[in-house]
Each structure stands twice: as C-alpha cells, then as structure tokens.
Amino acid sequence: MDSTATRVPTLPGLAIWLPRLEAVAIPVAALIAGLAVFSLFLLALGNSPIEFFSLVFKAAFGTAFSWKNTLSRVAPLLFAGLCVALPARLGLVVIGGEGAIALGGLAAAVTGVWLASLPGVVGLPAMAFAAMAVGGLWIGLVGLLRIKRGVNETIASLLMAYIAIALMNHLVEGMFRDPASLNKPSTAPLADALRVGNMPIGIEVHWGFGVGTIACVLCWVLTDRTTIGFAARIAGDNVRAAQVQGLPVAKLIVGFTTLGGAMAGLAGFFEVAAIHGSANASLVVGYGYTGILVAFLARHNPLAIIPVAILLAGFEASSGLIQRRMDLPDATILVMQGIVFVMLLLSETLYGRIKFFRPELWEDPR
Amino acid sequence: MTRISRRTLLASTGAVAATSLLPQTALAADELTVGFIYVGPKDDFGYNQAHAEGAAAVKAMDGVKVVEEENVPETVDVQSSMESMINFDGVKLLFPTSFGYFDPHILDIAPKHEGVRFQHAAGLWSADKHPTNVGSYFGYIGMGQYLNGITAGHATKTKKIGFVAAKPIPQVLLNINSFLLGARQVDPEITCQVIFTGEWSLAVKEAEATNALADQGCDVITCHVDGPKVVMETAAARDALICGYHANQSPLAPEKYLTGAEWNWAGVYTGMVKTAMEGGTIDNFVRGGLADGFIKMSPLGPAVSDAARKQYDATKAKIMAGGFAAIKGPLKDNAGNVIAAAGQSFVEDDIALESMDYLVEGVIGSTS
Amino acid sequence: MSEDLGLWAVPIAMLGGAIRVSTPFLFVSLGECLTERSGRINLGLEGTLVFGAMAGYAIAFETGSPWVGVLAAAIAGAVFGLFHGWICRFRGVNDIAMGIALMLLGIGLAFFFGKSYVQPIAPDLPAIPFGWWSDIPQVQAALQINALFVVGVVLAFAMAWFFKNAALGLRIRVVGDSTEAARAIGVNPDGIRLWSTAAGGALAGIGGAYLSLYYPGSWNEGISSGQGLMAVALVIFARWNPVMCLAAALLFGAAGAIGPALQTVGVTSGYYLFFAAPYVLTLALLILTSTPGKAQEGAPGELSITK
C-alpha cells in the first residue's frame, strides 16, 4: 500500500522528496535490471543487445516518426488501464475491459451514422457520450451484480467481455452492416465531420492521446484528492470498516465500475472515430487485456498509467524494426516485455526497505 | 469487363507507362526495397504462408531487398508498420496482404507517401475513389474451389460435402458456391453444409466445426479460414476426405487429400517487382486465374478415381482456355431467388462476383 | 456410413464437445484450484498453457513420443509455477499482477521458441474408442476419448478426496485460509504455497499439451483462444471445489459445441450469439447460484483476488 502519506516528516523537505525519489528510482532501476536480464537472453541466443536496444530506441523514441508511432498507440492503453485501475481502488479485479471497448466503439459508430448530418461539435460529443454510456453500463453491470447478487466481478467481467464481443460481431455483420463493406464487414463509414483529427503538436497523433492523458489526470484527482477517492480507498482496504463508518460502499462500487467502463467505452470511441471510421472486428485486438497489465504496473495510480502506457507503446512500436533488421521473431518484444514487467513487479518488494530513502532511519537509535 | 491478367501486365511493362494516367512512381533505383506485411504468422499453412512464399521468390531476385513483418493487426499497427518500413527501410513497394488493411489503413497512409507504391491483395481499387499509388490484385481462386468440388463430387458417398468458413464475405461465398457447383457437375443431388466460425483464425472452433460437419455425414471437407491446418487434420482424423485451400496441405494427410486450390503468388510478385525495377507502371487493378498463373492446383491425391481425374482434367482445360463460368443459369440461391436466368452466366473475371452476397441452391447455410 | 440424426445431432455433438474441448479447461482449473486453495493466485496459467502446448509439441516431435511431450509440458509448467511461487514470496509483490506478467512472458517464450515447430508434424496422443457398443458413427466419434480426459476426471475426484481427508490436503487448506494459523500449527506456508503453485503449473502445462497433441492437435500461435484465463476464472465459478471444476469444464465444452451443431441442423443465423453460449450459460448459472453478500463463499481466506 501507499505509505507515503503517513510517514512522519522528521526532516522537512527530505522527508517529502526522498519517498518521491524512491518512487522514481526503484522502477527505473528495475527497468534497467529487466533490460539487463533480457540482454543475457539475447546474448545466449547469439544476438547483440546493443544493436537490439539501439533499434528499440530508434523505432520508439529516436525520431519524430518514432514518437508518432509510439504515441499513436497510447490512447487505448490509457483508457483500458483506467478501466482496471478505477475498480481496483475498491479492491475489485475487473478484467473484462475488452468487451466495453467493443460495445463502446459500436455505440459510437452507430450514433455517428445516425447523426451523420450533424456538425462535429455536436456529433462527436454525442458519439463519445454514447460510447461512455454503453461501456459504463456494461462494466457498471458487473459492479451491480457484485452488490445485488454477490457475483464475483473477475469472472463476471471476463464472461461479459466474451458476450459483448459476440454481440458486437453479431450486430456489425447483421443489423448494422454496411452492404458496401465487402471484404471486411463494418458499419457504414462515418462522415468526415465526425472523424477525430490530430492534435496540433507537430506530429500526427490523434486527440485520443490528449483526452486520455487528461482523463488520467482527472481520475487521479478523483481518487487521490477528493473525499470520494478517500472513501474508495478505505472501502478497498476493508469493506467492513468502511460500512461501519457509514460509507456508501454499494454506490462507490457501482460508481467506480461505471466510470471505468465509460473509460473503456472512450477507447472504443477513439478507435472508431480516429482510426477505423467505422466499427468492425478490429475493435477486438486485446487492448482490454493490455490494460490489465498497464493498471497493475501503475499500481492503480491513474497518473502512473501515463508513463507506463507510453513505455508499453514504445516497446510495441519497435517490434517491426526488430523483425526486419535483426530477423528475430515478433515474439521477441513479448519476451522483453515479460521480463521487464516481472522485474518491475518484483521491485515492489524494495519499497521502504532501502535505508537511503528513509531519513527517519538514518539516526539509528540502536 | 476487360480481362487484366498477368500476361497483359507483363506485356505492358514500360510501354503503357506513357499512356497511363497514373503518376510515375519513380521506382527505378539501384536496389529496390520491397515490404510485405502479414496479418498472421507466415508459416500458417494458409493465406499468410501463400503470400510469404511469394515474398521468398522476390527475395531470390537480384537487386531486391525484402523486409517482412508478421502478426500485424488491422489497426493503427499496420499503419505504423507501413510508415516504419517507408521511413526506416526506404521501402518503395509495399504488399500489405490482409483484406482488412485496405480501407481505411492503406487509403489513409498512401496519399502521404506519393513515391511509394501500395499493392493490396483483394482490394477493389477504383480510379474515381482511390489514390493512384495504390493498386489491388487478386486471383480467381473460386475456380480452384470449383475443381476441388469436382473431385469431391466423385469422392462423396453420402452426397454431402462440407465447408468450414470464416465469415460470409464475397470471397468466401464465391468459394463455397464454386465448391458445390463443381460437385454438382458430377451429381446434382449433392448438397454442401457450411459452418461459419466467425473468425479468420480460431483453432478450437475450426476443429469443432469440422467435427460437426463429420457428424452430419459430410465425407469431403474443405474450408476458407486463414490457416486450414486444423480443419484438414481434424477432417482426416474423422475419416473424411479433404480438399486444400490457400496452400498445399497434402503433407498433413497425404492419403485423404484429393487436391487443393492454391495461391501462386511467386510469379505475380516477381512480375510486379520486375516491372517496378524497370521503371514501369504496375496496373492499379490486376486480376488473374489459373491460366494466368495466379492460382494453381495441388497434385491429385491417391483417393481421386480415374473418372474424377478425367472430368477434372477436362474442366481444367476449359478453364485454362478462358471464358469459363461456374456461376451460370438457370441458377437460384438457397432462398429461392433467381441468381441467373437460363443462358445468363458470370464468367470468372466478372467483377459482379466480387460483391457476391448469396449462397446457391444446395448450400445449407445462410449469409447472416 | 453415418446416419442422419436430425435434431439428435445437437445433444450428441454436445456430448462429444464436452469430452473433446473440456480437457484443457479441466487441467488448468484443477491446477489453479490447488494453487488457490493454498492461498495464492496464478493468473498466468494462460501463458503456462501456451508454453506447455509448444513444449509438448516440440518434444513430442523431437522424441517421436507424445507421452514424453506431455511430460515435458508438465515439467515446463512446473518451472513456471515454481518461479511464480518463489517470486510471490517476497513481501509487497502482488501475485495477481505477477501472474499477468508471467502470462505475457510464457506466451512470448512459447511463440519465440515455437516458430520452428509450426510446420513439423508431431505424433498425436492416442484415443480410446469407448463407443464400441454403439452402431452410430456419430456416437462412436463422440466417445473417442483421450486418456488425459480420463486422468483429469479421476484427478478431480482424487483432489476432492485429498482436500477433505489427506493430511497434506488439510495443511494446504489451512495455509490457504490463514497464514498465521498455519504457522501456529507448525506448517511452513511458504513451502506449501511454492509446491502448490508448481503443481498447479504442471497441470496447466499438461492442459496445453492436450491442445497441441490431441485436440485440435497442432502447434500454432492461435492454438489457445484464452482457455487458460477462462479456466482460472472458472475456479471461482466452481467455488474452489475440484469436482465442480470438472462440472464447469464439461459445461463449457458442451456449450461450445452448440454453435457449430446448430448450424448443421438448420439454425444458421445468429451464430455469433450461439458461439457465446458457454459464456452466457456460465454467467446465468453464476448469477443464479450466487447469494447477495456472500460473494466469496468458499474462497480461501488468504486469496488476494477475493480478499
């Protein structure tokens, strides 16, 4: 648990900054350690780690195009991460974000077709709202089932994800299919006015990245700077204690799951409005499951989701160049991610154990 | 509809460039770098392997460098992969091979890279809608399924043949219809049971679908999914005979394998790359069939009878001669609507076949 | 040859489906059941399953013996389990998250080393024809039963007996319910959890080998469609009871056969929805059998996912 808030400030300044330094230094050290272990893997197979990492850097962050490649992959990871992190603040493990993404995307696309004649300023918010409503409803239902029927949220969300994907495919290939979408069944294409464009930042990255970042900040304010977030944390630690204190646990659960689902719905909205221009089976490519990893690596802190998602996107952006230049299989990046994430999660055992970061222990009274 | 084949394509090399409305894409260079992108693994015994075999033939050419990426989903991923190949490897000719790469991904990226040529498999390029540095090519593989159907028609004892299909899109429907119509050349009583799995690649569901076909008494089975390996092995294990698709699957069950409809991209790809290297223009809309070397048939297996072989050879010769129609009147779909009146026919290169939305009479299944 | 069974085709297909498709679910969920009973969760069994599928296929191909392949898959699974069990002993390490990271690593390693085994053809596990008594080919086909399925069924009952009656089984349950209580009676919780996780991993590895060596019986990157993750979730559905794990796996397999079978008897539209039958049925049963306020009934007390 996050113990920084309770630490006694014996040495003002240092006591505030050292824990924050710890929160950066440990993951960075773990990242380096993970890359070192992966280097051994590469060496053992006769590949050059130096070549590998210079290619990863080049492909992910080395040029303006690399940044475009990386950042354009971030948006769905941010939203999918929030879909896991928000309920997790209440101790709920929701792993079905994939379904809310699919249905959210479909809702956005169908609304967009329906509102085809409206200008973007009206149509786009309506599409986003539809996506959030459907996504929120889907995951909110998981929360509701938990409260009303005592249904475990982990399995319910996973089952409902499969059901949502089936529903999406059924509707895209049936009722909402555009007959002109021949080889790839899709909904009718969105009007140009209802497409989300790029942000004015010099590289072509659509607004999903900006909105996702803002959403993470807002969610952080909610979870870490409001009484609601505080109440959620208490309920997450101990439901009974929260109930004894009169906290509205049921409302919190429904609220946080709904909000998480709404975020996943937004991921679907941006996939449809910024990338595909219609809803189709390509909404289901595993972003929801990647979001689980993002949220856990960020320790369910909405702000930390941003750097984690960018790092993950950078790794994925480099996969192609690695395949082409080093003739390594595409799974190489998966192996690297696996090793790095194991090290990052393992490093959590170090928090509070390194004396340097704990000034209150410097003058050992022993 | 004019017939645009590989032969005319190769003949047009250079000469047609001047008359073409298309901008010269300045492909001639010392070394040409060509990019191939696959939606699945390139050794899937199927769709992706067929393209990768074509890429391997290009790799063997002098003065050509080939870069490849596999398992690239039809999302922002493929857009990035294409641009990454262009920016980092100087790729001038791209073959993004999956159906779903075309719209919107290739259509979004191509206008930003005018010096690069995007060649897409199966897309329906049209001059008034699409960028000129995009081209689409495909083959009349339905004819291969028609020939599959003839061997199946002779081999079936139950008069029921089976088809495991991914999704009801025109390409797949044409294959199903062709397979049955081929079999009905042997015996008009034959029916074809189709099962849609809803996914291009999903091993267990494909196996379950194959078992369901065998349970229903289908004794010759073929498929249209990305990787036919599972269907072929499962069908063979249920003692059904099999017809291959995409690539040659006879090594999986040599005794049960009748024949198969295979892509033959090697010739197509080397031809296009050669055109590009010589500074010529690749036509934007290329189609070809058995006669043009776009598709080929697997060698006939030991379970093919002499009578079957005779009819197969005769039909193949007719197809090779050109102008052959599998879809011809009088023909109804399986809901009773007239598809073609008596005397009406859709020749293999008829563009109407590429927006097929029906299953013919005798196919048990529905398109939605 | 085969006869036309009409609508009877559907239940017979479900019977066959239950037997064919359930085995990976069964092994993974039994493995996870054992692990979770000791108070640890391993969400990474999907990765273990995929790696087991690859390792089993590769070793079966190299040695020519599918049973050696199964053994190799079990060993590989045990190694993953041991690693997860060892690493989760460290204070502050989240076992849910670590499981997800190991899922990624397992899948990554399987795809990485499995590239060269996609094309070769490994020998399949043999099936036992339990349907000899019937003249109907469909029934005979449905009752082609793999030995691993039989082992799985026996194991489910054995494990239920083991948790109730065996000394070690009781110790595992004590450790799972309360670390302190376990320490008080002199049981080492870390050791028990380590080996329970390793054994769980081994079972998941065998589940993977079934996929690649029997049904569908080939190795490729799409061999698992999330069976490992689903099986882990089914343990919650089964309320940590091995016999219920068997029931859940059978239900899942049988319901999975509904989609294709309905298409063969003329119900041809809406197949996506019929394919979702296993999920809908499981969810419906879950809702019906749950009780408000008792979300975690039967859950081991130390389990992080239900704490």
Domains assigned to chain C: 6-289 (1.10.3470)
Q: Which amino acid is at C270?
A: G
SS3 (DSSP) at B193: strand
List of chain C residues whose C-beta atoms are within 8 Å of the C-beta of residue A147: 292
- Of A252, A297, A250, A22, which is closest to residue A150 (Cα–Cα)? A250
Does a structural domain hold residue A325? no
The answer to whether the Cβ–Cβ distance between C225 and B233 falls below 8 Å is no
pLDDT digits (tens, 9 = 90+) for B24-33: 344 444 789 9
- Of C82, C71, C1, C68, which is closest to residue C35 (Cα–Cα)? C82
Grade residue B14 by pLDDT with cuts at 50, 70 and 90: very low
Closest chain B CA to residue A55: B88
Range of the domain at A200: 73-309
CB atoms within 10 A of CB B262: 21
Same domain, residue pair B274 and B248: no
The answer to whether the Cβ–Cβ distance between C279 and A159 falls below 8 Å is yes
The answer to whether the Cβ–Cβ distance between A329 and C102 falls below 8 Å is no
List of chain C residues whose C-beta atoms are within 8 Å of the C-beta of residue A151: 286-287, 290, 295
Same domain, residue pair B237 and B270: no
Residue A360 contacts B, CB cutoff 8 Å: no
Residue C257 contacts B, CB cutoff 8 Å: yes
Closest chain B CA to residue A316: B77
Mutate to test the interface with B, among A74, A183, A275, A330 (most CBs of B within 10 A): A183
Least Cα separation, residue B199 to chain C (angstroms): 10
Residue B87 parent element (H or E): helix B76-89
Same domain, residue pair B151 and B120: no
pLDDT above 50 for A113: yes
Least Cα separation, residue C98 to chain A (angstroms): 6
Residue C82 contacts A, CB cutoff 8 Å: no
Does a structural domain hold residue B170? yes
Does a structural domain hold residue B295? no
The answer to whether the Cβ–Cβ distance between A146 and C97 falls below 8 Å is no
Torsion, CA B17, CA B21, CA B25, CA B28, rounded to 10: 10
Check if the beta carbon of residue B99 is closer than 8 Å to that of residue A183: yes
Q: Look up the CATH number of the domain holding residue B345.
A: 3.40.50.2300
Sign for the CA dihedral angle at B314, B319, B323, B327 comes to positive
- Of A246, A221, A109, which is closest to residue A175 (Cα–Cα)? A109
Does a structural domain hold residue B18? yes
- Of A236, A261, A309, A278, which is closest to residue A76 (Cα–Cα)? A309
pLDDT digits (tens, 9 = 90+) for B150-199: 999 999 999 999 999 999 999 999 999 999 999 999 999 999 999 999 99
Residue C8: both structure tokens together: 């009877």
Residue B242: both structure tokens together: 């099999």
Same domain, residue pair B147 and B225: yes
Task: Check residue A1 and give its pLDDT.
Answer: 41
Q: Residue A317 is nearest to which of B71, B74, B80, comparing CB atoms? A: B80
The answer to whether the Cβ–Cβ distance between A169 and C286 falls below 8 Å is no
Same domain, residue pair B130 and B156: no
Residue B54: both structure tokens together: 């074509």
Same domain, residue pair B122 and B164: no
Least Cα separation, residue A333 to chain B (angstroms): 12
pLDDT digits (tens, 9 = 90+) for B35-62: 999 999 998 889 999 999 999 999 999 9
The answer to whether the Cβ–Cβ distance between C92 and A339 falls below 8 Å is no
- Could you identify the residue written with the tokens 């300045």? B26
Check if the beta carbon of residue A284 is closer than 8 Å to that of residue A168: yes
User: Average pLDDT of chain B?
Assistant: 90
Instruction: Please count the structural domains in chain B.
Output: 2
Mutate to test the interface with A, among C100, C113, C240 (most CBs of A within 10 A): C100
**What integer is the mean pLDDT of B10-15?**
37
Q: Do the bridges between strand B295-297 and strand B257-263 make them parallel or antiparallel, or are there none, so unpaired? A: antiparallel
Residue A205 contacts C, CB cutoff 8 Å: no
Cα C284 to Cα C276: distance, rounded to the nearest angstrom: 12
pLDDT digits (tens, 9 = 90+) for B260-310: 999 999 999 999 999 999 988 899 999 999 999 999 999 999 999 999 999
Task: Check residue A345 and give its pLDDT.
Answer: 93
Question: Residue B262: beta bridge partners?
Answer: B246, B296
Does a structural domain hold residue A344? no
User: Which residues are CB-contacts of A323 (< 8 A; sequence separation ≥ 6)?
Assistant: A329, A330, A332, B68, B69, B70
Going along chain A, which residue ranges are E strands? none
Q: Residue C222 is nearest to which of B201, B213, B215, comparing CB atoms? A: B201
Same domain, residue pair B336 and B352: yes
Q: Helix, strand, coil: what percent of chain A each, to 5?
A: 75, 0, 25
Percent of chain B, pLDDT > 90?
Answer: 85
The answer to whether the Cβ–Cβ distance between B67 and A324 falls below 8 Å is yes
Range of the domain at B53: 6-140+264-288
Same domain, residue pair B74 and B154: no
Does a structural domain hold residue B81? yes
Task: Check residue A21 and give its pLDDT.
Answer: 87
Task: Check residue A242 and give its pLDDT.
Answer: 86
Residues 312-341 of A with CB under 8 A from C: 329-339, 341
Task: Check residue C307 and give its pLDDT.
Answer: 60
Residue C298 contacts A, CB cutoff 8 Å: no
Q: Chains with ≥3 Cβ pairs under 8 A against C?
A: A, B
Does a structural domain hold residue B63? yes
Same domain, residue pair B161 and B50: no
Closest chain A CA to residue C236: A155
Chosen domain end from B233, B254, B288: B288
Cα B140 to Cα B108: distance, rounded to the nearest angstrom: 27
Instruction: Please count the structural domains in chain A.
Output: 1
Q: Residue B355 is nearest to which of A182, A184, A320, comparing CB atoms? A: A182
List of chain C residues whose C-beta atoms are within 8 Å of the C-beta of residue B251: 121
List of chain B residues whose C-beta atoms are within 8 Å of the C-beta of residue A316: 77
The answer to whether the Cβ–Cβ distance between C220 and B252 falls below 8 Å is no
Mutate to test the interface with B, among C116, C220, C223, C267 (most CBs of B within 10 A): C220
Percent of chain A, pLDDT > 70?
Answer: 96
Question: Residue A206: beta bridge partners?
Answer: A198
Does a structural domain hold residue B293? no
CB atoms within 10 A of CB C6: 9
Closest chain B CA to residue A166: B198
The answer to whether the Cβ–Cβ distance between A163 and C280 falls below 8 Å is yes
Q: What's this model's pTM, rounded to 2 decimal places?
A: 0.92
The answer to whether the Cβ–Cβ distance between A349 and C111 falls below 8 Å is no
Residue B338 parent element (H or E): strand B338-340
Residue C54 contacts A, CB cutoff 8 Å: no
Task: Check residue A11 and give its pLDDT.
Answer: 57
Does a structural domain hold residue B296? no
Specify the length of chain C in residues: 307
Does a structural domain hold residue A46? no
Same domain, residue pair B209 and B318: yes
pLDDT digits (tens, 9 = 90+) for B59-100: 999 999 999 999 999 999 999 999 999 999 999 999 999 999
List of chain B residues whose C-beta atoms are within 8 Å of the C-beta of residue C142: 215
List of chain B residues whose C-beta atoms are within 8 Å of the C-beta of residue A281: 100
Cα B16 to Cα B22: distance, rounded to the nearest angstrom: 10
Q: Do the bridges between strand B220-224 and strand B241-246 make them parallel or antiparallel, or are there none, so unpaired? A: parallel
Task: Tell me A89's DSSP state.
Answer: T
pLDDT above 70 for B7: no
Least Cα separation, residue B21 to chain A (angstroms): 27
Grade residue A332 by pLDDT with cuts at 50, 70 and 90: very high
pLDDT above 90 for A38: yes
Task: Check residue C10 and give its pLDDT.
Answer: 85
The answer to whether the Cβ–Cβ distance between A150 and C87 falls below 8 Å is no
Sign for the CA dihedral angle at A133, A134, A139, A141 comes to positive
Residue B124 contacts A, CB cutoff 8 Å: yes
Q: Chains with ≥3 Cβ pairs under 8 A against A?
A: B, C
Same domain, residue pair B127 and B152: no
- Of A164, A174, A176, which is closest to residue A114 (Cα–Cα)? A176
ipTM of the complex: 0.93
Does a structural domain hold residue B294? no
Residue B33 contacts A, CB cutoff 8 Å: no
Does a structural domain hold residue A178? yes
Task: Tell me A359's DSSP state.
Answer: G
SS3 (DSSP) at B97: coil
**What integer is the mean pLDDT of B206-214?**
94
pLDDT above 90 for A263: yes
pLDDT digits (tens, 9 = 90+) for A128-161: 999 999 999 999 999 999 999 989 999 999 999 9
pLDDT above 90 for B106: yes
pLDDT digits (tens, 9 = 90+) for A171-229: 999 999 998 888 899 999 999 999 999 999 889 999 999 999 999 999 999 999 999 99
Residue C285 contacts A, CB cutoff 8 Å: no
Cα B316 to Cα C76: distance, rounded to the nearest angstrom: 51
When computed from its CA atoms, the radius of gyration of chain C, rounded to whole angstroms, is 20
The answer to whether the Cβ–Cβ distance between A334 and C111 falls below 8 Å is yes
Among A11-15, A104-108, B351-355, name the one with the lowest average pLDDT. Answer: A11-15
pLDDT above 70 for A8: no
Among A6-20, A261-275, B11-25, name the one with the lowest average pLDDT. Answer: B11-25
Sequential pLDDT tens for chain C (307 residues): 445 667 788 888 899 889 999 999 999 999 999 999 999 999 999 999 999 999 999 999 999 999 999 999 999 999 999 999 999 999 889 899 999 999 999 999 999 999 999 989 999 999 888 888 988 888 888 898 999 999 999 999 999 999 999 999 999 999 999 999 999 999 999 999 999 999 999 999 999 999 999 999 999 988 998 899 999 999 999 999 999 999 999 999 999 889 888 998 888 888 999 999 999 999 999 999 888 766 567 788 888 777 6
Cα B327 to Cα B11: distance, rounded to the nearest angstrom: 30
Closest chain B CA to residue C265: B216
Residue A157 contacts B, CB cutoff 8 Å: no
Same domain, residue pair B147 and B213: yes
The answer to whether the Cβ–Cβ distance between C216 and B230 falls below 8 Å is yes
Task: Check residue A254 and give its pLDDT.
Answer: 97
Q: Residue B170 is nearest to which of A63, A177, A183, comparing CB atoms? A: A183
Task: Tell me B15's DSSP state.
Answer: G
SS3 (DSSP) at C27: helix
Task: Check residue A90 and give its pLDDT.
Answer: 94
Residues 204-223 of C with CB under 8 A from B: 211, 215-218, 220-223
CB atoms within 10 A of CB B140: 28
Least Cα separation, residue B202 to chain A (angstroms): 14
